[in-house]
Structure 1
Amino acid sequence: MEVRRSVSDPKFDAQVNILGLLNLMETGKNYGLKKIIFASSGGAIYGDADILPTPENYPVRPASPYGISKFTCELYLD
């Protein structure tokens, strides 16, 4: 998923990122999966941060549906 596509088709972005993660979590639970390593772009979630590297407790400021969906996935995994 790319940011431009998420802006032009936010429903597709949510299907790929959010529903994709939920399907992975459900399947993982059925097979006894203990961990999921989730890669996410800090720039997508934190926007133009003033601090680099950006700490995880930095205020969330997603600027696109892509950033919103990635942050939503982090919340599901938390």
Structure 2
Amino acid sequence: MATKTNLPDGAAEMQPSAQPLEMLPIEEHRARLGVGKPVFAGVCAANGWKPGRVMSEADFCLAVKTFTGAPMGTRAVK
């Protein structure tokens, strides 16, 4: 059975590189991985990130995949 993921075109191909964990500012990860400005702004807003935050590439990729795979326009179920 096929499964559908709700990822935009570029997010499916984004994989963290096989290099050791290098801590870089999120702006550098965005430029390296080719994350669009609207997606980057949404990820930062959803996670409460401020400019200059330093993190590993794997953590950044996980946050982008989580954000782009989340449903849009739904209300929280109580």
Instruction: Provide TM-score, normalisation by structure 1.
Output: 0.30
Task: Return the structure number with greater strand share.
Answer: 2
Task: Return the structure number with greater helix share.
Answer: 1
Instruction: Provide TM-score, normalisation by structure 2.
Output: 0.30
